[in-house]
Structure 1
Amino acid sequence: MEAGMIFALAMLISIAIAPVYGKYYSQTVTPSSKVEKVTRLHFFLHDILSGENPSAVIVARANLTKKGDSVLPFGSLVAIDDPLRVGPDPTSEIIGNAQGLYLSASQDASKFTIVLYADLAFTSGKFNGSSFSIFSRNPVLEADREVAVVGGRGKFRMARGYAKIKSSHFNATTGDAILDYKVTLYHY
């Protein structure tokens, strides 16, 4: 057989087989009768930009001609691996960590706001191996603020809810902060 004939035959066979493997699959499942749970959590997130072993680092900064006095000027992107602790003391027990990013999103330094994406995971206790995700605007200078919980995994699967945040400690020179989180989660 000629090479062109073999190729044509191979194409014909693959076209004939493709519909068998290309069928769309769908299945509708009735939700189980599980009852929605409400979990309330209280912990402290330690976001440390200074020192030899920071838990937050600036990974990008906008090339601005006008530099502000802020530690995190508009357009700064920060990667975090912040410890979650039972208290505001830096030596209090670690119960998890928050990993993600935040972006300095306000041009007006007097209204310093970040957009936060973070997965807050627990590494001890009854929620060990579970986490919930935040994706929200966070007006940092407001005394009381609220961010949205948009998902979860483990014991917090299908989570939604909110976190109320207060600054327990904030150093404007270094950008270091200890944040008091009170979280309400709705999950199954």
Structure 2
Amino acid sequence: MEEQMIFAWAMMFCLAIAPVYSGYYYSKTVTPGEKVEKLTHLHFFLHDILSGENPSAVMVAHANLTKKDNSPTPFGSLFAIDDPLTVGPEPTSRVIGNAQGLYLSSSQDSSKFTIVMYIDFAFTTGKFNGSSFSLFSRNPVTEADREVAIVGGRGKFRMARGFAKIKTSYFNATTGDAILEYKVTLYHY
């Protein structure tokens, strides 16, 4: 018993005198009033093309359903996208960037088609070249006017938050091809 007490005291003594190595990293706390928040409005069109030889959206996974779903975007389907962003709804309109990410067909009720989207909208020309914002939101596609959440950004859209109003400009129910009009409101630094 006495040996155990001596051992315990020796361990505590060793731990008490062990050198402590740590680093101090300087950081500056910025009060909210020091940086000016900016407001930016963007208007563009996204071309989500599932058909043809060079689609901009492809199904990468789907659920094994017991009933046949003939929709181009059946429930449980996951799509990877690299959609062009243009200044107008025409496919020949000037390209200003691209939207890359994923969307999931998340509604079992085909009359209320809904997707959940994670997409990064990057700009490759103009004032916002090299900047992007990220969208992560539920998108009730069958609603005429819908709103989705902006949750971040980089470049000139650093720390972006806001929303996008989406309208369907064109939709082909057979192929799933769509052209969507985006009106975006961003708050950023």
TM-score normalised according to structure 2 size? 0.86
Aligned-pair distance for 1:24?
Answer: 7.9
Indicate whether 1:132 and 2:133 are aligned.
yes
Indicate whether 1:29 and 2:25 are aligned.
no
Aligned-pair distance for 1:34?
Answer: 1.9
Contact 1:38 1:186 in 2 (8 A): yes
Indicate whether 1:160 and 2:161 are aligned.
yes
In the TM superposition, 1:78-157 aligns within 5 A as 78-157=79-158
Contact 1:80 1:101 in 2 (8 A): yes
Aligned-pair distance for 1:67?
Answer: 1.7
1:76 is matched with which residue?
A: 77
Distance (whole Å) between structure 2 residues aligned to residue 133 and residue 116 of structure 1:
10
Distance (whole Å) between structure 1 residues aligned to residue 166 and residue 24 of structure 2:
45
Aligned-pair distance for 1:156?
Answer: 0.3
Give 2:62's aligned amino acid. Answer: R
- Decide whether aligned partners of structure 1 residues 168 and 55 sit closer, same or farther in structure 2, where only a CA change above 3 A counts: same
Structure 2 spans left out of the alignment, 5+ residues: 1-13
2:183 partner SS = strand
1:171 is matched with which residue?
A: 172
Structure 1 spans left out of the alignment, 5+ residues: 1-11
- Decide whether aligned partners of structure 1 residues 66 and 24 sit closer, same or farther in structure 2, where only a CA change above 3 A counts: farther
1:180 is matched with which residue?
A: 181
Aligned-pair distance for 1:165?
Answer: 0.1
**Runs of 4+ deviating beyond 3 Å:** 23-28
1:20 partner SS = coil
Contact 1:67 1:73 in 2 (8 A): no
Identity of aligned residues (%): 77
Distance (whole Å) between structure 1 residues aligned to residue 53 and residue 160 of structure 2:
36
What root-mean-square deviation, in Å, do the aligned CA atoms of Structure 1 and Structure 2 show? Answer: 1.7
2:45 is matched with which residue?
A: 44
Give 1:116's aligned amino acid. Answer: M
| Number of residues of Structure 1 aligned to a counterpart in Structure 2 | 172
1:69 partner SS = coil
- Decide whether aligned partners of structure 1 residues 24 and 116 sit closer, same or farther in structure 2, where only a CA change above 3 A counts: farther
Point out the structure with max Rg over C-alpha: 2
| Cα shift readout 1:11-41 (whole Å, capped 9, x = no counterpart) | x9xxx67x425x6867451246121110000
Give 2:179's aligned amino acid. Answer: I
| Cα shift readout 1:130-169 (whole Å, capped 9, x = no counterpart) | 0000000000111000000000000000100000000000
- Which shows bigger deviation, 141-150 or 30-39? 30-39
